[in-house]
Structure 1
Amino acid sequence: MFVDGALAMSERPCFFVPLSIGYERLIEAETYERELQGGDKPKEDAAGLLRSSGVLRHRYGRINLQCGQILTLPELAEELGLDLGALTPAKRRGLVTRLGNRVMDEINRVTAITPGALTALVLLSHEQRGLTFAEIEGRAARLLAVAQKLGARTSPTLVTPTGSVRPESLRESLQMFVDAGLVEALDPDRLSELDPRTAPGEGVYATVENKRLALDTSKNVIVHFFVERALVAIAVSTAPSHIVAVETVRERVRELSRLFKVEFRFRAGAPFDSIFDDTLDTMRAEGELADDRLGVTAGPGHRGWSGREWLLAYSSILRNFVEGYRIAARSLAELRERPLADKDLVRKGLSLGRRMFLEGSIRRWEAVSKPILQNAYEAFSDLGYVVHREGKYYLAPDVGTQQKLDEIEATVAKYLLVPS
């Protein structure tokens, strides 16, 4: 619509401004959390606005606004070799696609890491029951250093003039999440809530299991900075052997990239092999990976972590996505009886995901998410597992047996198994 308007007024310049608006904690987190779990989005009206006055009694952190490179249609048309005065429908779609991709790339590039987003990332990306403040600070500093090397911007409140993490910014974010009921501050000696009079930063911080989805909205603001390394880490750390041939790693990462192509934006304008080789070289140079005569393995590490600890940390960042796709894969069995409308398949997938969480098949509550399942079904359609037609999903003709469905789930589940 906007592109049509801009093309109709070619004599007047039209500028597209990519804006990244970062929230440390969403004001409507509870409503959004219900939507993620399959609830309907409530209608917005004046009564709802009046009822929302209670939000003013809570803390939501700071909003961070960043502006990307301003784009124009003539510049994009020149990149594509198009004449704006003679666009066929296909060329117009190509122009709109290029604009959308460039806007998203710019938003990802300029998104600033805030204390809330970094704290949420740390809290949701480990395998312990809880973390002390010292552990949170250490993990935050390491992950921030990686993102900064990739050119990530940071909010002024997060870092000192030298670029290191401000501990007080993490404490404020932790307290914000504690006050919101998303995180518990526990006394390790009594296994009870920490006395409010205790000095900030003491005790153990643990996520509230059924509130992890709300915390996940803060984490996802910055997860894109780690996707490329995380895919390599998953491919290496879940392989049957601790030493993996480079070409095997390449093919495993390629498979993961295809699986998650709806989920993540990869580096624009670069082919897969170039991105993979660059990522592998960087991880080698930093000691996260090391060469062996048979392939690559965990390296000596850096910043106080071994290479294996780095691989597990990166893998943990994306674990909820892998688990979510496993839920979606298992839920395809629902299509054996009859095709299902989009919303009905998602509803059944969410119900199945809750059962899988309770029985221990998956570990991350935030994997049971409506957007993750929707993206997974779209990816499965692209991969030929299902057919999407007239608002319904059908099993593909060659995916009719339970054995084939089990193979599809195994294709995803193998990236959750970490050899001892």
Structure 2
Amino acid sequence: MSSKASSRSSSRSRIAKRNAEAQKASSPDIDILDEGVRIHYPLVPGQAGIGKGEAVSKDEGSRMLSPSLVHFRDAPLDFLREISLHLSGTGWRGYENPIGQPIFYKGYCENMRHLILTNEKLRKRVFELAKKRVDDEAREGLLGEEPNPGVMQLKKSKRRRDIELSLWEVADKIVDGMICKMESKGFIRGAYYFCMQTLARTYHQGVHVSTEEVLRLRACAALAASKKQSLIFLPCHKSHIDYVALQVICYRLGISLPNVVAGDNLNFPVVGSFLQHAGAFFIRRSFGDDKMYPAVVQAYIDAMLQNGYNMECFVEGGRSRTGKLLPPKFGILSYIMDTILSGRAEDAFIIPVSTQYDKVIETSGYVNELLGIPKKKENLMDFLSSSSVLSLRLGRVDIRFHEPWSLRSYIDEQLTRLPPNLPEPDRKNKLLRTLGYKVLADINAVSVVMPVSLIGTVLLTLRGRGIGKAELVRRIEWLSEQIRRKGGRVADFGSVGTETIVERGLEVLGDLVGRRTEEVAEECFYAKDRFQLSFYRNMVIHLFISETIVCCAMYTKIKQGGGPANQLVPYAVLLDHVSFLSRVFRKEFVYPTDGITVNLRQTLLGLEADRVVDLVWKDGEVGGEIEAVELAREERERGREQFDYYCFLLWPFVEGTWLAAVAVLGLTPPFGEEEAWVGAGEAMEMAQLLGKTLYHQGDLSYFEAVNKETLKNAFEQLKSQGTLLTSTSASVPPAGSTISSAFSTTSSSSSSTTPPTTSKPPKAMLRLSPDWAPTRNERNEILPGGKLWEWTEKLAKSRREGKNRRDAPTVERRVMRLAGRLGLELIREGRVESRGVLKGRARL
């Protein structure tokens, strides 16, 4: 054979192989068939597929739902074939007869509009608003004088009907801008293909799900459809990709697409219309004083739940900028609860959902926001059309579904636990709170820890500058085992070795991790961008929150050094400090619900089993009352590796909260003054500027401590315990005015006071409570003392020891001098006419 013929043969062979691989990649790995779901080999090892009646082991792990798409330049015929299959709606692509209520038909929007506008509660609300308006107008004499009561009643009735008509027009306009408009099946096929292209180009390793959870989800969907009840998906929220991925899964599994609650900030030209037709319905982030809008929202929720339409809303409200779950937002949950609690809908199924990423696209933007750079207005079109986004290779997405549960059954069970004489508003608030935190706990229970989280966690819990490849692999294997022992899940990569997984994770993290290969005996890795890496570390901390608090409480004694006897921690002392830290971070973390003493005992027993601590039992009676706690000999011999790991997880949050407290100490009123109000936003800017300065001076160990979310939560904690007093209806006095003359003295017994308002627009204000504040001397230096000073000192005992802090009290003179100066400037300047001053300094 000539070399030319051989070359042609080799080329044909390569093309045939490439086309075969493309064909395999373009075929569905999960078929939606009449008899059930069929999962293709080799995704389920040793099986040709899973059909009706076939069991799936809990150990099956993750399966890829979205295979890589075929590209035109690689296989043009297969690319065109894939397009034609989507256009013709062949097989599962047709989305025929999905499980659930019909949604894609002409007239769906009009039917939904009719259900909303005929809602009995909405009609009653319109009547009440119109009647109140007429009564107000009559009282103010706007309807004229009429001695005949019958004539006046006719005038009022006519006026009320006119107002009702206007209110219905308002309601109709609200409904038109709010409801999703899923009427075209052709559109949703195209939208699915577009979303798949976006996902495949961005997350090249696909969307992974659990086969067991997939089958369970479809079974629940079938049960709900038979009862004409809704599935309510409640996912965590880390990225704009969240709602795209969940819609893709429901489409692929043949489940009726949920109506997705979206902020009206995404309702802008082109994109807003696209999202509405793809399943989004828009809700204002704030209702203000609008009396009509909440009634329309409630009517919409009623219509969906009464007719079995599926819903999706994010229990955290907005996207998490820190990687960990945010406290629940109760807005939409409140409407859902009201519908079920009142009996207007019989029941609905709650499905908590965890979405985890190898790498979140928006993390660099999150860092800017957390550092105080103003948030850019949402622009999803820029996000989706960005060539840099659509060509990224960010690994994979793992989505996990908690076992669905009945909302009605949950409410009934909770009601039996509440006091029978509890007022109705308090009853509902308690139900809402327990519901929100249960959903968060369920999300945490099914969350999968991704390789990037393992790598980020290991790199950010090192004492040294970096780590070698072999040690990095060892620590990741250790951390994976610890996560599994705590009941957590680690992403399943089949038979792929840990070293290969680490290489893939490092590739995804890119320049967030530094590599040193020259002049070293082995390749070394180090955290290059600690701030972004902290996002991935925070995805792990919920699994170890009890251990981290206990170890940081013990650290107050351990860091004193000396022999074991010197580091023995009496149980009463440990309980006191654990209780203190738990209160400090209650805005940050979700704790076990068994109570502080039970949780502490269980945590100590677990740490003893891991040979991290030894327990000293009272009177030597093992299993009885704990008298003291000390580091185990084994833990000392391994260099406090596990103990330090737990401390490293919490230390950045200890630092951030300490920083907030020091900044608030800086708000101590000037000498001779009793109070001083400042803008809440400006106080946050001052805290961040203080933190950046202290970090560069060596008085703050973690730069991520200056992030806005940690400081915000710390400020909220200080407000809730009465340290900070707040107002929402006042402005700070003009720069240079006398504070005592601008604001009259107010009572310090309340956590919310209202200073006199000025002509300036209202904004959030705060000041340091006199009950907590220290004092200043004639030179306006802050003097040690006061409840906040003592509180800050107690928190500081759990801070990581640093060489700059070993020879002086924790709240050092130079730290308080800087905080006092910045606080004094903020108070005196007012920060009203000079907002750019502090920002300019921060840039410098």
Q: Structure 1-normalised TM-score? A: 0.87
Correspondences of 1:307-326 after superposition (within 5 Å): 308-326=640-658
1:254 aligns with 2:610: no
CA contact (8 A) 1:76 1:95 kept: no
Give the corresponding residue for 2:797.
Answer: 414
Q: Distance in 2 between matches of 1:300 and 1:27?
A: 44
Aligned to 1:146: 482
Match of 2:631 in 1: 298
Task: Map Cα deviations across residues 161-212 of structure 1 (whole Å, 9 max, x no partner).
Answer: 9xxx7221112112222x2x21110136179xxxxxxxxxx5111112xx32
Verify: 1:400 aligned to 2:773, yes or no: yes
Change (3 A) 1:82 1:40: farther
- Distance in 2 (alpha carbons) for counterparts of 1:324 and 1:351: 13
Are the counterparts in 1 of residues 659 and 687 from structure 2 also a CA contact under 8 Å? yes
Map of 2:383 onto structure 1: 49
- Tell me the distance in 1 between the aligned counterparts of 2:600 and 2:442: 21
Aligned residue for 2:347, secondary structure, equals coil
Measured in 1, the distance between the counterparts of 2:602 and 2:404 equals 28
Change (3 A) 1:36 1:417: closer
State the partner residue of 1:385: 723
Cα–Cα, structure 1 residues 229 and 282, in superposed 2: closer, same or farther, change >3 Å?
same
CA contact (8 A) 2:458 2:475 kept: yes
The answer for the alignment partner of 2:448 in structure 1 is 112
Q: Which AA in structure 1 matches 2:607?
A: M
**RMSD of Structure 2 on Structure 1 (CA):** 2.7
1:4 to 317, 327, 335: 335
Q: What residue in structure 2 maps to residue 66 of structure 1?
A: 400
Partner of 2:683: 345
Deviates more, 1:48-57 or 1:221-230: 48-57
- Pick from 356, 359, 362: which aligns with 1:28? 362
The 8 Å contact of residues 237 and 312 in structure 1, kept in 2 or not, is answered as: no
Return the alpha-carbon distance in structure 1 between the equivalents of residues 544 and 406 of structure 2. 29
What is the alpha-carbon distance in structure 1 between the residues aligned to residue 796 and residue 386 of structure 2? 42
Deviation per residue, 1:299-336 (Å, 9 max, x gap) = 1337x973722211110111111111111111013422
Equivalence map 1:164-243=2 (5 Å):
166-177=498-509, 179=510, 181-187=511-517, 189=519, 202-208=522-528, 211-239=529-557, 240=560, 241-243=566-568
Cα distance in 2 between the residues matched to 1:171 and 1:82: 52
- Give the number of equivalent residue pairs: 399
Counterpart pick for 1:288 among 604, 612, 616: 612
Counterpart-to-counterpart distance in 1, 2:484 and 2:361: 28
Indicate the larger mover: 4-13 or 73-82. 4-13
Q: CA deviation at 1:225?
A: 0.6
Compared CA separation, residues 141 and 376, structure 1 to 2 (3 A): same
Aligned residue in 1 for 2:108: none
In 2: Cα distance, 1:415 partner to 1:76 partner: 39
Give, in whole Å, the separation in 2 of the partners of 1:266 and 1:50.
37
- Distance in 1 separating the partners of 2:449 and 2:459: 15
Residues 71-115 of structure 1 show CA distances to partners (whole Å, capped at 9, x for unaligned) of 4332222222269xx992222222211110110110111111111
Note if contact 2:337-2:432 (Cα within 8 Å) is conserved in structure 1.
no
Any conservation in 2 of the 1:326–1:412 contact (CA below 8 Å)?
A: yes
For structure 1, which segment, 55-64 or 334-343, has the greater mean C-alpha deviation from structure 2 after superposition? 334-343
How far apart are residue 381 of structure 1 and its match? Answer: 2.0
Determine the structure 1 residue equivalent to 2:190. Answer: none
Specify the SS of the correspondent of 1:264. Answer: coil
- Checking the alignment, whether the CA contact within 8 Å between 1:335 and 1:395 is kept in structure 2 is yes
Q: Please, which runs of 5 or more residues in structure 1 have no aligned partner?
A: 192-201
CA distance in 1 between partners of 2:486 and 2:339 (Å): 39
Per mean C-alpha deviation after superposition, the further-off stretch among 409-418 and 321-330 is 409-418
Q: One-letter code of the match for 2:653?
A: F
SS at match of 1:156: coil
Compared CA separation, residues 13 and 328, structure 1 to 2 (3 A): same
The answer to whether the aligner puts 1:103 opposite 2:421 as a matched pair is no
Q: 1:52 to 1:305 in 2, by over 3 A?
A: farther
Aligned partner of 1:79 among 377, 389, 413:
413
Give the equivalent residue in structure 1 for 2:695: 357
Q: Does 1:18 align with 2:391?
A: no
CA distance in 2 between partners of 1:16 and 1:345 (Å): 40
Structure 1: how far apart are the matches of 2:689 and 2:429? 37
Q: Which moved more, 1:341-350 or 1:98-107?
A: 341-350
**Structure 2 unaligned runs (5+)?**
1-331, 561-565, 618-626, 670-675, 729-763, 775-781, 807-844
- Give the C-alpha shift of residue 68 in structure 1: 1.6
Closer/same/farther in 2, CA of residues 418 and 237 from structure 1, 3 Å limit: farther
2 CA distance for matches of 1:56 and 1:169?
A: 24
The answer to whether the 8 A contact 1:117-1:222 is kept is: yes
CA distance, structure 2, for counterparts of residue 2 and residue 277 of structure 1: 34
Aligned identity (percent) is 25
Q: Which residue identity lines up with residue 251 of structure 1 in the other structure?
A: D
1:17-69 CA-to-partner distances (Å, cap 9, x unmatched) read 11111122110111111111112221223652355221233332221111123
**Among residues 600, 616, 624, which one is paired with 1:276 in the alignment?**
600
Greater mean alpha carbon deviation, residues 290-299 or residues 216-225: 290-299
Higher RCO (C-alpha under 8 Å, 6+ residues apart): 1
2:395 & 2:358 partners in 1: Cα distance?
A: 5
The offset of 1:395, in angstroms, is: 0.8
Pick the aligned partner of 1:264 from 578, 589, 601.
589
Separation in structure 1 between the aligned mates of residue 518 and residue 661 of structure 2, nearest angstrom: 39
Q: Which moved more, 1:245-254 or 1:366-375?
A: 245-254
1:263/1:375 contact within 8 Å kept: yes
CA distance in 1, matches of 2:791, 2:428: 37
CA distance in 2, matches of 1:184, 1:335: 40
Separation in structure 2 between the aligned mates of residue 160 and residue 248 of structure 1, nearest angstrom: 47
Q: What secondary structure does 1:415 align onto?
A: coil
In 2, Cα distance between the equivalents of 1:47 and 1:278? 50
**Most deviating of 52-61 and 117-126:** 52-61
d(CA) in 2 for partners of 1:407 and 1:151? 38
Whether contact under 8 Å (2:701, 2:800) holds in the other structure is no
Equivalent position of 2:569 in the other structure = 244
- Residue 4 of structure 1 deviates from its aligned partner by 2.0
- The amino acid that maps onto 1:376 is A
Residue of structure 2 equivalent to 1:194 = none
| In structure 2, C-alpha distance between the alignment counterparts of 1:3 and 1:416, rounded to whole Å | 39
User: Could you tell me which of 372, 395, 413 is aligned with 2:710?
Assistant: 372
Question: For the Cα contact (< 8 Å) 1:267–1:275, is it kept in 2?
Answer: yes
Structure 2 Cα separation of the partners of residues 30 and 93 of structure 1: 36
Match of 1:331 in 2: 663
Contact 1:299 1:306 survives alignment (8 Å)? no
Q: Which moved more, 1:324-333 or 1:234-243?
A: 234-243
CA distance in structure 1 between the aligned counterparts of 2:713 and 2:336, rounded to whole angstroms: 30
Indicate how the Cα distance of structure 1 residues 160 and 410 shifts in structure 2: closer, same or farther if over 3 A, else same.
farther
CA distance in 2, matches of 1:392, 1:98: 30
Task: Quote the Cα distance in structure 1 between the aligned partners of 2:409 and 2:334.
Answer: 13
